[in-house]
Amino acid sequence: MTQRVSIKNLKDITPAKHVVRAIHNSDCRTPIIFIEEDEDPFVSVSYMAAKQDSAVWGFDLAVNKSKQNIMDYIDVSVNNGDWVYLTNCDAVDETFFRDVTRFIYHLKPDPKHYPRRELFRCVFCVQKAFDLNGPAEKPFPLLLLQISIIARTVSGNPKWTRILPANADLYAEAQSKRQRRRSQGRDSDSESDIDTEYPISGKLFYRAIELDNDYVCSQRYTEKQILEKAIREDDVQTIQEQGKGMKVDLDAELCEGMTPLQLACVLEHTESVRALLELNADPNRPRSTDGRPPLFMSIDDVKLAEALVDGGADLFAKYEGFRADSHPDTAPDVAAYLRKERIRV
């Protein structure tokens, strides 16, 4: 059952510190995970939402397990700046959240049409704590955990956790920042000093706002902007025109640390991927922000995986210690296809 939550008397509520901290350090593209055995965050979340005139739509996954119902509310809430609150998330397996994760990860601003989008939050609650970096099975997909904040309260003090990058260089950089913040007497997990030109945790929402403003305000697109726009709109004809004219280097970064092919993979635009591969785009070049090769970006789409394999993707390449057919993020049908192709090689 879906329930809209509203709080009329805000002055009698003191929100939990770990809830306030998590929400203040997140944006609309940051899933927030709470552990209910620490403290029920429901009232605090509702309070924080009410402060910005946002509705809270609650789902109990022990009762309502309709993915489409949840996605419909998220789709509407994103544009209205409302919040979606999911409880008993450990009542379903991690594959349940694939669509939600992909939707949030690909979220882009549209300040012209949806000015409240940046206020959106998606909250996930589980009953019991789990080891974020341990080998045990986790209730969420790895990608969701990589972009989320896990907020807890320990002896009354707020604490939060994020997965650090697997890549050795990125891990060292992240650890260095944490140590520098501690030495300055600051919160070691705060990302208030994040370098927008070197986004350790992936593409940043506010970088996307700048990109959107460039499109709105610019009198003349650059060649890179034309190609990026074509990929986002799956405009194969324009992609072919840009590639054949050698107007843009297809193996150079186009936006947000990604090459044109990587962007097409992230957007799951299979026809754009095929067009770029026909233009000799590198099917194995890893993304600069996290070292993920394109084949590991086709985790849910067999057709996209087929296009990459046809284009020469390396079936034996590894990311985070796994081949694509055994990576925990890869959907079962995609993994089965990749395994079959690898055995045939």
Do 104 and 225 fall into the same domain? no
Assigned domain for 205 exists:
no
Assigned domain for 268 exists:
yes
Residue 215 has pLDDT above 50, yes or no: no
Contact of 302 with 334, CB cutoff 8 Å: yes
Assigned domain for 201 exists:
no
- 178 or 286: whose pLDDT is higher? 286
Mean pLDDT along residues 154-181: 70
Least confidently predicted of 125-129, 178-182, 248-252, 339-343 = 178-182
- 186 or 199: whose pLDDT is higher? 186
Assigned domain for 102 exists:
yes
Mean pLDDT along residues 300-306: 90
> How much is the pLDDT for 197?
47
> How much is the pLDDT for 220?
43
Confidence of residue 199 (pLDDT cuts 50, 70, 90): very low
Assigned domain for 173 exists:
no
Question: What's the chain's average pLDDT?
Answer: 82
> How much is the pLDDT for 5?
56
How far apart are the C-alpha atoms of 340 and 345, rounded to whole Å? 9
> How much is the pLDDT for 9?
65
Do 18 and 141 fall into the same domain? yes
Confidence of residue 161 (pLDDT cuts 50, 70, 90): low
Residue where a domain stops, chosen among 116, 142, 162: 162
Contact of 250 with 243, CB cutoff 8 Å: yes
> How much is the pLDDT for 168?
67
Mean pLDDT along residues 112-118: 82
**Can you read off the two tokens belonging to residue 181?**
């913040």
> How much is the pLDDT for 137?
76
Q: What sign results for the dihedral spanned by CA atoms 137, 319, 323, 107?
A: positive
Residue 144 structural domain: 2-162
Assigned domain for 210 exists:
no
Do 158 and 9 fall into the same domain? yes
Do 329 and 251 fall into the same domain? yes
Mean pLDDT along residues 94-99: 88
Do 223 and 340 fall into the same domain? yes
Assigned domain for 185 exists:
no
Assigned domain for 82 exists:
yes
**Angle (CA) 322 325 331, round 5°:** 110
| pLDDT 10s digits, 103-113 | 988 887 777 77
Mean pLDDT along residues 338-343: 92
Confidence of residue 303 (pLDDT cuts 50, 70, 90): very high
Strand order across the beta sheet in which 56-60 lies = 2-5, 56-60, 83-87, 121-126, 32-35, 149-154, 157-161
Q: What sign results for the dihedral spanned by CA atoms 110, 49, 85, 82?
A: negative
The enclosing domain of 23 has a CATH number of 3.40.50.300
Per the structure, how many domains does the chain have? 2
> How much is the pLDDT for 293?
92
Confidence of residue 290 (pLDDT cuts 50, 70, 90): confident
Confidence of residue 288 (pLDDT cuts 50, 70, 90): confident
Residue 211 has pLDDT above 60, yes or no: no
Do 10 and 138 fall into the same domain? yes
Residue 93 has pLDDT above 70, yes or no: yes
Residue where a domain stops, chosen among 123, 138, 162: 162
| pLDDT 10s digits, 238-287 | 999 888 877 788 988 888 788 999 999 988 899 999 999 999 999 999 99
Give percent above pLDDT 90 in the chain.
Answer: 34
Selection from 300, 309, 311 nearest residue 335 by Cα: 300
Do 148 and 7 fall into the same domain? yes
Packing angle between helix 17-24 and helix 42-50, nearest 10 degrees?
50
**Can you read off the two tokens belonging to residue 168?**
């050795």
Residue where a domain stops, chosen among 147, 162, 177: 162
Contact of 263 with 254, CB cutoff 8 Å: yes
Give percent above pLDDT 70 in the chain.
Answer: 81
- 162 or 141: whose pLDDT is higher? 141
Tell me the H-state helices in 89-167.
Answer: 98-105, 142-147
Going from the C-alpha of 20 to that of each of 30, 51, 147, 150, 185, the distances in angstroms are 14, 12, 18, 13, 20
How far apart are the C-alpha atoms of 58 and 85, rounded to whole Å? 5
Phi, psi of 143 (to 5 degrees): -60, -40
